[in-house]
Chains A and B, each alone.
Chain A
């Protein structure tokens, strides 16, 4: 990926040579770069590294839960692992991976020379690294890493040892990073599109990221405010979350989930965008219902702001609140159903082929739908009293994150790696990676539904013996899933080094150039693309 390519753009007659230069040599290039492709690469590699760090923590969790009783780790450390696994995966892996994709792809998809604010782009990446460094440092502190769950609920989280202020400032830095990244994406999409690229011609990945960026700017400051109040409650005598002073610990939960619910859509909306980009190419059909996809995405984003308390049905809300949040939550199923219908209809009677990106995308449609249905089950407030804080919720959100967000990130990597590197990945290993992942992810998470319905609580290092069988099966699935991801690491490195050795064309996938601008430029993509905007744009995707 570090190859130096002389810029050429055969579709562009008004070429400016003064912009054409390749990347600098040496390590410093990566530290001071303002190039959207370099920064995208940094984000993606960072996210991949964090995926394995967070994954290792998950392995610790599954190893401890392999059998009842305490085997390997102290309960306190176990709770640190569940907390840190979540924080690392959410803020270190999934979100940065999608920002990396946005950096790489949005300028190329809308015909822009780069992101709108390149220096700030550099800063948002390094803010992310700074935030994760602060977070990771807490693992080695007196009192251990935060262990109160990624939601950081008071009063429990205020019992954290020396790690507490570090974790809080880490959230501030991660928030600054996300807000700067989101501002950049909005400015890029609104201000840098090629003239022919009207809003309703934008690829859906661009649309979903535009909407996601609004969510980020709206809710990251809310999380920052919530943890700031934790900080002052702990160190400056305030009583926001202390009933003795007239505050309320439930207030934290409301604020957290006002952030937290949009946050989970921040991780899923770009997923929808990538799926809507990949499926039409391999179904060899235009996307079914382009405009309804745009409106459904916007509707989901809007609804995400008015459903937060469905995470807190058991906290003791007035009955009117329970009812309102129950019905509002159910509404989300409508735009989501529109999307699943559209993906299915796109594939209907398509001339489909099943390369690795398509396999991951199809399994996303099926398995995400399952995760959605369990969500619908839990939206029913009286039922949720049974499911709350059990392994059922763990199964639910892992279905919406692992075989959905993570699978689509895999699909995106396989789909765009040839464009990024100029090499073809090894299809056989890619498919092996897919099949191992899709089978093991179900062995890993499906039994957790049963455990939850039978009453096994989450965030517990030990459990009653009646839960032993399904936990062992779940752990076996987890180990296979974890090991399978090493295949992905191999494919990525192998592809960068030359892959199968065959020269990939500009369009890479059959007729892909009809679906997106990124397939009209050479593979690998030159260091600078669209220094002058393209005059015509493909429209097969709408």
Chain B
């Protein structure tokens, strides 16, 4: 009952509408850029910068309010629910791409090869095509263009990808270690744990960039390498983007920790960042198994 008496309700918010304007400008700019309009790139950059500054302002306000004790336990529950359901929406977003990979490998590629309902498809469209995985399709696409015998090299699992798996798993451990430090009020452990997590996160992204570079320059593996290239880069690319976002969130949490923010009993931002990080971690395990290993 007492919690209800003091539920904190902010009045007036200027950051959300400005952030929305920034995001809209960014996307309108992006669309113009895709349409080869010269205002596209500047509009994109302007909108993105504006969006980030507005988000930074908003989160600064939230952290100031949090540190000054304006949020009670009930507000904290609302925040946690918000973060949990946001992560659930992200899971559904990744599910689309995992689902597409499953569908193409198990249904549409075999159908193109003449299996089941695909008998006529094979007969009339591409009689020479034999279903196999990985594939760049009956037209042997290279960079999105049909070729006579265009080949690419699929990404193996045991080099950088395995290393990256170990890196992300370790970062999950360091993240939890930092959390234990926070709970026990060992600030030193908290900060060291966060530094290690952020560093491992950016190391992961660096290795993935190297992997992409290799794929594009040496293996003939690009977004345009048929359905294998499409699913490979879409899944790993969106995951890599999420690792970047997670690492930036953790960097903010690290910065706040170094300023003495968070208490053992009240540290929503840390928890949210940690949840997000573990989510990104689990998605990677799915990727490692279904994209690289199988």
Contact = CB atoms under 8 A, between A and B. Distances in A.
Q: Is the interface of B mostly helix, strand, loop or mixed?
A: helix
B28 A238 contact: no
Interface stretch (A75-83, A220-228, A449-457, A474-482): A220-228
Contacts of A134: 24, 27-28, 31
Interface stretch (B86-94, B160-168, B207-215, B283-291): B86-94
Q: Residue among A118, A129, A195 with the most chain B CB within 10 A? A: A118
Nearest to B76: A191
B90 A14 contact: no
Nearest to A242: B137
Contacts, number: 227
Contacts of B109: 246
A251 interface: yes
Contact of B13 (A118, A129, A244): A118
* Contact size range, A: 35 or more
Given A118-B9, A130-B20, A217-B85, A239 B227 contact: yes
A165 interface: yes
A251 B103 contact: yes
A244 B223 contact: no
B294 interface: no
A166 B28 contact: yes
Contacts of B220: none
Contacts of B224: 236-239
B95 interface: yes
Contact of B10 (A119, A127, A217): A119
Nearest to A167: B31
Given A130-B23, A222-B95, A229-B234, A238 B85 contact: no
B108 A246 contact: yes
B268 interface: no
B279 interface: no
Contacts of B34: 165, 231, 235
Contacts of A88: none
Nearest to B5: A532
A247 interface: yes
A246 B234 contact: no
Contacts of B259: none
Contacts of B99: 255
A191 B90 contact: no
B223 A221 contact: no
Contacts of A182: 85
B1 A169 contact: no
B233 to A, nearest CB: 8
Given A217-B88, A246-B227, A247-B108, A187 B27 contact: no
B184 interface: no
Given A122-B13, A217-B85, A255 B28 contact: no
Interface stretch (B138-146, B175-183, B190-198, B247-255): B138-146
A73 to B, nearest CB: 25
Given A240-B230, A243-B112, A123 B20 contact: yes
Nearest to B36: A162
A251 B93 contact: no
Contact of A244 (B5, B138, B228): B138
Interface in A97-144: 113-114, 116-120, 122-123, 126-127, 129-130, 133-134, 137
A320 B140 CA distance: 31
Contacts of B103: 248, 251, 254
A190 interface: yes
Contacts of B227: 239-240, 245-247
Contacts of B13: 32-34, 118-119, 122-123
B20 A169 contact: no
Contacts of A33: 12-13
B35 interface: yes
Contacts of B88: 217-218
Contact of B58 (A35, A119, A126, A184): A119
A238 B7 contact: no
Interface string A188-232: 101110110000000000000000000001111110111001011
A130 B24 contact: yes
B7 A192 contact: yes
Contacts of A34: 9-13
Given A220-B89, A243-B125, A316 B117 contact: yes
A246 B12 contact: no
Given A113-B7, A533-B4, A127 B20 contact: yes
Contact of A183 (B82, B125, B226): B82
B201 interface: no
A301 interface: no
B229 interface: yes
B35 A165 contact: yes
* Contact size range, B: 35 or more
B74 A191 contact: yes
A172 B137 CA distance: 29
B217 interface: no
Nearest to B25: A130
Given A166-B28, A222-B95, A533-B1, A244 B141 contact: yes
Interface in B3-33: 4-5, 7, 9-17, 19-21, 23-24, 27-28, 30-31
Nearest to B96: A225
A244 B137 contact: yes
A334 interface: no
B69 interface: no
Contacts of A166: 28, 31
A383 B146 CA distance: 40
B229 A14 contact: no
A222 B81 CA distance: 21
A183 B108 contact: no
Contacts of B79: 117
A370 interface: no
Contacts of A179: 86, 89
A245 B226 contact: yes
Nearest to A184: B82
Given A218-B92, A247-B104, A238 B10 contact: no
Interface of A: 14, 16, 19, 21, 24, 31-35, 113-114, 116-120, 122-123, 126-127, 129-130, 133-134, 137, 162, 165-166, 168-169, 172-173, 179, 182-184, 186-188, 190-192, 194-195, 217-222, 224-226, 229, 231-232, 235-240, 242-248, 250-251, 254-255, 316-318, 532-533
26 contacts: A14-B5, A21-B11, A33-B12, A116-B82, A119-B13, A122-B16, A126-B17, A126-B21, A133-B24, A134-B28, A172-B27, A183-B85, A187-B81, A188-B78, A192-B74, A195-B1, A217-B85, A218-B92, A226-B96, A238-B224, A243-B125, A245-B230, A247-B108, A247-B230, A255-B96, A532-B4
Please list the 9 inter-chain residue pairs (A to B) with the smallest Cβ-Cβ separation, ordered nearest first: A237-B144, A225-B96, A237-B224, A246-B137, A123-B16, A246-B227, A248-B108, A165-B31, A244-B139
Given A119-B16, A187-B78, 19 more contacts: A14-B5, A114-B9, A118-B10, A123-B16, A129-B20, A133-B24, A134-B28, A173-B23, A187-B77, A191-B81, A217-B88, A229-B230, A237-B222, A242-B137, A246-B138, A246-B228, A248-B104, A251-B100, A251-B108
Interface of B: 1, 4-5, 7, 9-17, 19-21, 23-24, 27-28, 30-31, 34-35, 58, 74, 77-79, 81-82, 85-86, 88-90, 92-93, 95-97, 99-100, 103-104, 107-109, 111-112, 116-117, 121, 125, 135-139, 141, 143-144, 146, 222-224, 226-231, 233-234
